[in-house]
Amino acid sequence: MPANLCGTWDIISNVNLEGYMVALGISPQLRKIALKLKLKKVIEQQGDEYIIKTTSTFRNYTVSFRMGQEFEEFTRGLDNRNVKSLVTWEGNKMVCEQIGEKKNRGWAHWIEDDKLHLDLFCEGEVCSQVFKKK
Ligand code: ECB
């Protein structure tokens, strides 16, 4: 793989999660809870399958996929939508497109200075998160 994203990662910065959640239509009450969470990412690779777990004291979210193979994703516990997702490498970025009701939706992961970066985007809003290796 172009970059090794695997490992356990702790969030160190989180910019515009609020804007991203508003774009997804998350309720004010849930947004307030979500903004306080210290998220962790666990990224694993088993053969040609990737597993990305986002964990917190409130809720966890797991997705698994194969590179370049479209799959059905249900964003359970997030905005609870069905999307068709496709993850590919774009240079050193792992990029996911999530096709569904919300336009221009997806995310991108990459490594920079030993940190794991994640941009989450939806309808023009971008949430930028950075994680350090545990
Ligand atoms: C995983 C716990 C978050 C629980 C927040 C609860 C309600 C808020 C609903 C939606 C907020 C949207 C995002 C919260 C931030 C991160 C969640 C996972 C982001 C994601 O899609 O990660 C990708 C890329 O690593 C893999 O699923």
Pocket of ligand 1 (CB under 6 A): 21, 24, 26, 30, 34, 39, 41, 52, 54, 56, 58-61, 63, 78-79, 107, 118, 120
- Strand arrangement, sheet containing 7-15: 61-66, 49-55, 40-46, 7-15, 125-133, 115-122, 106-112, 93-99, 82-90, 71-74
| Residue of 15, 38, 57, 78 best suited for mutating to test ligand 1, as the one with most atoms within 8 Å of CB | 78
Residue 10 Cα to ligand 1 midpoint, Å, equals: 14
- What contacts 67, CB < 8 A, 6 or more positions away? 48, 50, 87, 88, 89
CATH number of the domain encompassing residue 42: 2.40.128.20
Q: In this structure, is residue 69 part of a structural domain? A: yes
Domain extent for 104: 7-133
Reported as a pLDDT band with limits 50, 70 and 90, residue 1 is low
| Residue of 15, 54, 57, 123 best suited for mutating to test ligand 1, as the one with most atoms within 8 Å of CB | 54
Contacts 24+ apart (CB under 8 A), 84-92: 87/50, 89/1, 89/2, 91/2, 92/2, 92/3
What digits encode the pLDDT tens for the residues 69-123?
Answer: 999 999 999 999 999 999 999 999 999 999 999 999 999 999 999 999 999 999 9
Look at the chain and report how many structural domains it folds into. Answer: 1
Q: In this structure, is residue 1 part of a structural domain? A: no
- For residue 107, the tally of other CB atoms under 10 A from its CB is 23
For residue 75, what pLDDT is reported? 98
Where do the DSSP E strands lie in 6-60?
7-15, 40-46, 49-55
Cα–Cα distance between 12 and 38 in angstroms, integer?
Answer: 8
For residue 40, what pLDDT is reported? 98
Up-side HSE of residue 35: CA atoms within 13 Å toward CB? Answer: 15
Q: What ipTM was reported for this prediction?
A: 0.97
Please check the confidence at residue 11 and state whether its pLDDT lies above 70.
Answer: yes
Q: In this structure, is residue 102 part of a structural domain? A: yes
Q: In this structure, is residue 55 part of a structural domain? A: yes
Q: In this structure, is residue 79 part of a structural domain? A: yes
What digits encode the pLDDT tens for the residues 112-122?
Answer: 999 999 999 99
Task: Average the pLDDT over 14-21 and give the result.
Answer: 98
What digits encode the pLDDT tens for the residues 24-57?
Answer: 999 999 999 999 999 999 999 999 999 999 999 9
For residue 3, what pLDDT is reported? 78
Q: In this structure, is residue 121 part of a structural domain? A: yes
Q: In this structure, is residue 2 part of a structural domain? A: no
